[in-house]
Amino acid sequence: VTSQANPHSLIIGGTRGMGRALAELFAREQHTVSVIGRQIPPEPITGKVHFWSVDLLERQELSKTLDDVIVRHGNLNNLIFLQRFKGKGDKWEGEIQTSLSATKFVIDALIDQFHDASDKSIVIVSSAASDVVAEEQDAAYHVAKAGLNQLARYYAVVLGPKGFRVNVVSPGTVLKKENQEYYLGNDKLQKLVGRTVPLGRMGTALEVAHVISFLCSPKASFLTGQTILVDGGANLVSCETLARKLADLKF
């Protein structure tokens, strides 16, 4: 598998949050980065980072934008999905369309627009809520994320012979620029996280971005169809253990 000196990476949902942290990391790693979101952020990113403003729900506009990305910056090496629904209207329809259907639409539209000679990586960011129930999120979020996990496995098998690797990164709650004041300012929550997460803290957007970067590198050249949990081990702890810790009971 050859690596490319300046890979072209398209990030869907990279204008803020974890996607922006990934765009910044890729720019430092000398990628040419194309970023799609509804709004172009006021603060630019240093490096070869290009923003496109389009709503994933507007499929005609989206098709034109995807064409434009390829015409301007050439075929892709990496395609990463970090969008989630934050719009108005019906939440079920919105989340399923934005997270699940748009991901399939973009993959299908771009499948012939990847560099042939190099490693081709697709990474879908899912969530712990694809497996467990997180009551702070709605039903659509759970179903869309579970669907994305299986979509990744499907494409890993079907597109494997064409040289594509398709993997999922599934974070727990992540500190990002937009929420760190809230989470770090909440002492009670931080203490609980310290006691219940095996690694004793919340992860950061950059730590998730590093895992995505690995999956988009030739170092991951034989890795496909996998869901990688990036949660400091939180998913491993049993209900009994959690309950005992919270109740200060001995083990």
**What residues are annotated to the active site?**
141
Asked if residue 197 binds ligand NAP (CB under 6 A), the reply is no
Asked if residue 86 binds ligand NAP (CB under 6 A), the reply is yes
Q: Which stretch binds ligand NAP (CB under 6 A): 150-158, 160-168, 172-180, 221-229?
A: 172-180
Task: Answer whether 41's CB lies under 8 Å from 51's CB.
Answer: yes
H or E stretch covering 8: strand 8-12
Task: Answer whether 205's CB lies under 8 Å from 17's CB.
Answer: yes
Task: Answer whether 51's CB lies under 8 Å from 32's CB.
Answer: no
Please, what is the minimum distance in Å from the beta carbon of residue 180 to ligand NAP?
11
**Pairing relation of β-strands 120-125 and 78-81?**
parallel
Asked if residue 173 binds ligand NAP (CB under 6 A), the reply is yes
Asked if residue 38 binds ligand NAP (CB under 6 A), the reply is yes
- Which of 1, 47, 48, 57 forms a contact with ligand NAP (CB under 6 A)? 57
SS3 198: coil
Nearer to ligand NAP, 36 or 220 (CB): 36
Chain positions contacting ligand NAP, by CB under 6 A:
13-19, 36-39, 55-57, 82-87, 98, 125, 127, 171, 173-174, 176
